[in-house]
Chain A
């Protein structure tokens, strides 16, 4: 199952989150060679890992086998702060109903197909439940046909460019029942997410930042 971990229930998942930061270092730095993410303590943590991040982690017992994270676009996001040039044509979204999706990973021994589809299903299932309408993402362009094959509707925000030697693009993905249905048909599962403990209202949280942004603009 894929667990939803936020500021509201992270006390139930301290060990899991810690392991996940180490796995991210192992995959994104050691395996994929994103050297800018390298950390001396071998924990891959960046400025988008904070009290507003929601982690979707696939667990087998207490072992992390895959996952990704969501981050509100009403705060400065990876797209707006690091890759705005990738969204040059249509612009970076900033909306409580749009969350940024990143750090998609699967541990090496589980890259056999079905977990990948479950992780794709998880983001759709979670966002539908929360009322999130779209997901923004910086993704390697060669993944586009894979998402499309799974039934994702993906709109580009700009042209691809090379990032760490890989063609990379900015996109906006629809959250839709049709997409979830198509993936569930392939996995044979009707639900993949699991919640434990208190639950954080994602859209309400993102709205707080929008109000704060508007206040700051007015004051300025």
Chain B
């Protein structure tokens, strides 16, 4: 078990290093010149642009730039936004809570909906209940998020007026308002995961229900709910954990769309604006952060296997 953990951690470190290199190279090949953006406008004089370039450290060779960037990052210094001259860490610190909140609610929504629906569809496999579930799930996967988001806004805000159409209220200015604002973004972001959890759980549940140990449990006199919850579900969740892990990673990509559609001042919106403004330090830090989070989620997924599946724990 320790061997597995150590191996897994080393892999994570290698992945993270590759991510920093790719992020750095990507920013080099992006069109647009940060020096130009920094100097002001198209009409800036050559001298002004050169001064800006020097000021930003862009006149140095690439490996030097990379080493400096890495070195600074390891000490927690992600530089200043080339546009606003505000420290990148500060920008992220302001916006991270918004993104995390949406993400957490999306995952809670996905699990709270996907797991019970998956179990129910398996128990009523090939009946109208199961078919209805499948139709909803397929719709959830097939519909683009921005479209789903706009549909929700149309129905819940414009027609029914139950929820605010967009915007973000910090919890400090009203917890209830904050939660109301989270409903639609979380649903929009989480629906794909909910659908996939449901489909995957349905099929693994069906498989597990045919296993002999489920029959053993019934032969012991365990009640049907005990058979399903204690004996079948725990086993059926093992493959689902992978899906959840992979999907949460991809959710972070989807969050850019969500934050734009619902005008939420989170990381996604920050990243999009920074890309449009050639604000390289912010883009680099943002991409890196997303990559780190995804890598860590994968790590957590693998480690969580050990808690669910004793066969891996003792391997």
Q: Do A and B bind each other?
A: no
Q: Which residues of A contact B (CB under 8 A)?
A: none
